[in-house]
Structure 1
Amino acid sequence: MTALSMPNPASSAEPAPAPRRWVARVFERLGGQLGAKVADLYADQNPEAVQEEWAAGMAGLHPDEIARGIAACRERVFAPTLGEFLHLCRPGLNPEWAWHEAADCLRQRDAGHVGAWSHPAIWRAACAMSPEVRGGDYLRHRTRWIYTLRREFAAGWGEPPPKPAMRVQHNAAVRAPCAKEREALASLRNLHAQTAAARAAATTEE
């Protein structure tokens, strides 16, 4: 198995629900940002059921993703639903967003940077479809991209994207040989021709 190949999601264990303390912390932060709008959103719901659903929805989220989602809520006017919050945490759940992120991050890697990947799964999907992503035709490759992206998300967080391989920079200027250098090259060619002729003659005499 290569470093970029991933197991079949069907054989992967379902991620465990997020700890309840994480959910409580998220609601605490959202309450600080949006006030009573958070409580109003779930006013008619069973608090235990809401906590359980959010814990299940947040399964598999990395702490960095949760922090991203909380930060994104600072710009909102209304409290997010669970689905909205998950997309704020993991924007790559939108396949088209992930495609453009992959294209941009591949360009960053070409420039020698790791790339601002929001999730390692997008990096792995980009590796699996690098020519297509670089080609830029999302509509043509959308079905395969969605399949590949979902497969990699199902595989979990995994290892972070590695640093790009070092590239050797050649700064030497290329120029045509001068007259003296041309004479030296001609002399070497003549010497080589004479040596080859002598060897051929010796072989014939034998």
Structure 2
Amino acid sequence: MPHPHCVPDAMANLVINEMRALYGARFMQQWQGLTPRELKSAWETHLSGLSEREVHAGLLACLARDWPPTLPEFLRLCRPWLNPEAAYHEAVAGLAARRRGEAGRWSHPAVYWAAVATSTHDMLHSTYGAMKARWERSFAEVLGQGSWEPVPPALTELPAPAHDRASRARAEAALQRILATQSQRGTRDGRAWARQVLSEQARRGGKRYSSTVLEMAGRALDIETGARAASARYQDNRRS
């Protein structure tokens, strides 16, 4: 979830003081030639978009480093989720937690929505090496949106039967409207509706769908990717 941005002046002072305490002369040598005011100004400028929590995460990561990070390195330490591989493993852990009815730990909504766009089934049943290209493509596309819906709460309990029937009826009606629209457009992809639903839900300002529709879309794509994997295994076995 997003956090309020910190006051750059206060955070710049904190970071510089912590760097001096951790690295002493090594830090000052890295910035030699700059006046104290210029040094502070450089850090203020680049810390202005970070939250206090992110800055503290960067400082905590410095404890494992023998040498002071450069300014770009420190910014990456503050936001480790920007690293595709780190974000992937966070997403897998978060998806596994949601399968158990837990919220999961998400450092940024983009990580969650990239996981949804990639396929929760494949994320949970594949290695990073196998998913690397697909994940990095989805992650880059979601990051490029610039704004993201919050991570939705995990479903922890089933609704009452009557409410469930009414919700499913509304969901099926909404699904029929989506399918009718795609039929008019001449879309032949039987899973296009599911991708449309998840894409709209992830986009800020996009159309909102009920949890039932989202669940149906997710299952449809999981079924699709599962069928593709089975087909690929069958073809491999025939070739061997």
TM band (smaller chain): 0.5 to 0.7
Runs of 4 or more above 6 Å deviation: none
In structure 2, what is the Cα distance between the partners aligned to 1:23 and 1:59? 9
Name the counterpart of 1:36: 25
Tell me the equivalent position of 1:100: 89
2-structure distance, mates of 1:110, 1:58: 36
Look up the match of 2:49: 60
1:75 to 64, 77, 82: 64
Instruction: Note closer, same or farther for the CA distance 1:50–1:103 as it changes in structure 2 (3 Å cut).
Output: same
Q: Does 1:109 align with 2:87?
A: no
Figure out how many residues of one structure are paired with residues of the other and give that number.
153
RMSD over aligned Cα, in angstroms? 3.0
* Bigger relative contact order, structure 1 or 2 (CA pairs below 8 A, ≥6 apart): 1
What is the Cα deviation at residue 165 of structure 1?
0.5
Residue 78 of structure 2 is aligned with which of 89, 99, 112? 89
2:122 matched to which residue of 1? 132
Identify which range, 130-139 or 83-92, moves more after superposition: 130-139
| TM-score normalised by the chain length of structure 2 | 0.53
The question of whether the paired residues in 2 share the 8 Å contact of 1:105 and 1:117 is answered with: yes
State how far apart, in whole Å, the 1-side matches of 2:45 and 2:142 are.
19
Conserved 8 A contact 2:7-2:48: yes
Distance in 2 of aligned mates of 1:62 and 1:135: 34
Q: Which residue number corresponds to residue 165 of structure 1?
A: 155
**Structure 1 counterpart of 2:218:** none
Q: Does the 8 Å CA contact 2:8/2:47 hold for their aligned counterparts?
A: no
CA distance in 2, matches of 1:76, 1:67: 15
The Cα of 1:154 is off from its aligned counterpart by 4.8
CA distance in 2, matches of 1:108, 1:125: 16
For 1:143 and 1:17, the matched residues in 2 are separated by 35
| Secondary structure, aligned partner of 1:75 | coil
Contact 1:17 / 1:56 at 8 angstroms: preserved in 2? no
Could you tell me how far apart the structure 1 residues matched to 2:132 and 2:76 are?
19
Query: What residue ranges of structure 2 are gaps of 5+ in the alignment?
Result: 159-240
Taking the aligned partners of 1:42 and 1:105, their CA distance within structure 2 comes to 39
Query: Alpha-carbon deviation of 1:47?
Result: 5.1
1:122 Cα deviation (Å)?
A: 1.1
Please list every run of 5 or more consecutive structure 1 residues that lacks an aligned counterpart in the other structure. Answer: 1-15, 169-206
**Could you list the per-position Cα deviations for residues 88-140 of structure 1 after superposition, in whole angstroms to 9, with x for gaps in the alignment?**
21112221111111111111222222212222221221222223322324344
**What percent identity do the matched residue pairs reach?**
33
8 Å CA contact retained: 1:102, 1:123: yes
